[in-house]
């Protein structure tokens, strides 16, 4: 009986996240809080851990302090010999330069693979919200006998120009015939003409093949040194790239409503909409799946509390998530996600909002369709999201769809 292959996980977490500004002004994109008590990176790491991987590195670069701290405090695999989740910054092993792309990040970190000598390497992004059992994708990769297997999710053909699109070989639908970036003339799938296969940014490689690919790419002056833009197309051109349709993935505890959920939360709009997916009675993405949990740091905090104010008004919340340590005193929440230790004072009205850790919203304040970063203070009677022109004059970001974003530590009068 053949020995089980040794699997190594790489999480690409060096993204700057410009489209999420100002939420990424002081932190890397994978460190952005999500869903009350999580960080974006927790979804990738939880999927890998739940899939049985026990040696995982997180390659970091941009403003990585809070990300490095979160990984070191949260992701300790105690009691497992040889098991670890380790944050690895750019080490400049190949010269005095930073990572110039995701493939270059792996090239500059090949010492990690040479030390562990894995058979297979799973490479994933750090800023998508989803559940996936990678052990099933690894088995499919081994059966396909391909150099790389690319995870893909079905998307409406009308959204093809927003993704890297995979076109299948008509003679062998497990193989990738073409990999096109944001095409405007995409062709639908043979079994579903209204859909296309979009790359999820997750890959499984044979380890020796990955090492050879990033080394060859590193010698090319015309490359952007990107996994999706350069490495995968090179495999496709040689007929060595397979596809893994997420429809084949069966995650324990998944419901029909959230079984194939995947969100790229790279913009303020998609980040906001992903939070709205969490809060309905039958959520589009279910955080309460105990068979495939999303792990994060467990804060030493008291439970959330809803109390009456001095006028005997009761704090209320409808279709909302309220994290540990929060106190809602006579205020009203509707379609809101509160991070830890948020306080809502008497008469405050908060609707359609994402509120990060330790925000204070004063008495009779109004917050509508907004994202408030950590430590924001909304003064009594002040408003956010009510008058967009006033928001802009105060230096807040207001998106085209009318979402107001207030940066970390701002005092709103």
Compute the distance between CA of residue 197 and CA of residue 168 in angstroms, rounded to an integer: 9
199 is in an annotated binding site: yes
Of 44, 52, 70, nearest to 123 by C-alpha is 44
Compute the distance between CA of residue 185 and CA of residue 286 in angstroms, rounded to an integer: 34
Q: For residue 22, say if its preceding peptide bond is cis, omega within 30 degrees of 0.
A: yes
Could you tell me if residue 241 is left (phi over 0), alpha (psi between -120 and 50 degrees) or otherwise beta?
beta
CB 211 within 8 A of CB 8: no
Compute the distance between CA of residue 396 and CA of residue 390 in angstroms, rounded to an integer: 9
362 is in an annotated binding site: no
345 is in an annotated binding site: no
Compute the distance between CA of residue 121 and CA of residue 96 in angstroms, rounded to an integer: 27
DSSP-derived 3-state class of residue 371: strand
400 is in an annotated binding site: no
Of 384, 346, 376, 351, nearest to 362 by C-alpha is 346
CB 335 within 8 A of CB 318: yes
Sign of the CA dihedral running 113, 117, 118, 119: positive
Binding site residues for alpha-D-glucose 1-phosphate, as ranges? 164, 181-182, 199
Residue ranges for the known binding site are 164, 181-182, 199
């Amino acid at each position: 009986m053949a020995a089980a292959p040794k699997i190594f996980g790489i999480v690409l977490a060096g993204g700057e996240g410009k489209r999420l500004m100002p939420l990424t002004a002081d932190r890397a994109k994978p460190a952005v809080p999500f869903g009350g008590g999580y960080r974006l990176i927790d979804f990738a790491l939880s999927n890998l851990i739940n899939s049985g991987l026990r040696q995982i590195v997180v390659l970091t670069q941009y403003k990585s302090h809070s990300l490095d701290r979160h990984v070191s405090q949260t992701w300790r695999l105690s009691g497992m010999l040889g098991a670890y989740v380790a944050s690895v910054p750019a080490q400049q092993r190949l010269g005095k330069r930073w990572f110039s792309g995701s493939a270059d990040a792996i090239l500059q970190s090949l010492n990690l693979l040479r030390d562990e000598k894995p058979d297979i390497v799973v490479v994933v992004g750090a800023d998508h919200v989803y559940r996936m059992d990678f052990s099933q994708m690894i088995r499919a990769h081994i059966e396909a006998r391909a150099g790389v297997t690319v995870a893909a999710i079905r998307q409406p053909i009308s959204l093809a120009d927003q993704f890297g699109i995979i076109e299948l070989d008509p003679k062998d639908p497990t193989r990738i015939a073409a990999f096109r970036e944001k095409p405007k003339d995409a062709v639908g799938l043979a079994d579903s003409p209204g859909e296309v296969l979009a790359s999820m940014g997750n890959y499984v490689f044979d380890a020796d093949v990955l090492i050879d690919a990033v080394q060859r790419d590193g010698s090319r002056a015309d490359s952007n040194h990107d996994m999706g833009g350069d490495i995968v197309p090179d495999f496709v051109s040689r007929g060595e790239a397979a596809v893994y349709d997420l429809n084949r993935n069966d995650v324990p505890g998944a419901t029909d409503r959230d079984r194939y959920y995947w969100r790229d939360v790279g913009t303020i709009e998609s980040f906001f909409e992903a939070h709205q997916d969490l809060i309905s009675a039958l959520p589009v993405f279910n955080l309460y799946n105990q068979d495939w949990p999303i792990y994060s740091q467990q804060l030493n905090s008291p439970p959330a509390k809803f109390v009456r104010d001095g006028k005997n008004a009761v704090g209320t919340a409808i279709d909302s998530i309220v994290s540990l340590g929060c106190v809602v005193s006579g205020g009203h929440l509707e379609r809101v996600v509160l991070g830890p230790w948020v306080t809502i004072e008497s008469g405050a009205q908060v609707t359609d909002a994402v509120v990060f850790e330790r925000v204070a919203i004063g008495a009779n304040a109004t917050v509508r369709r907004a994202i408030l970063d950590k430590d924001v203070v909304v003064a009594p009677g002040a408003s956010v999201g009510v008058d967009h022109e006033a928001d802009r004059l105060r230096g807040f970001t207001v998106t085209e769809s009318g979402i107001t974003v207030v940066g970390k530590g701002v005092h709103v009068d």
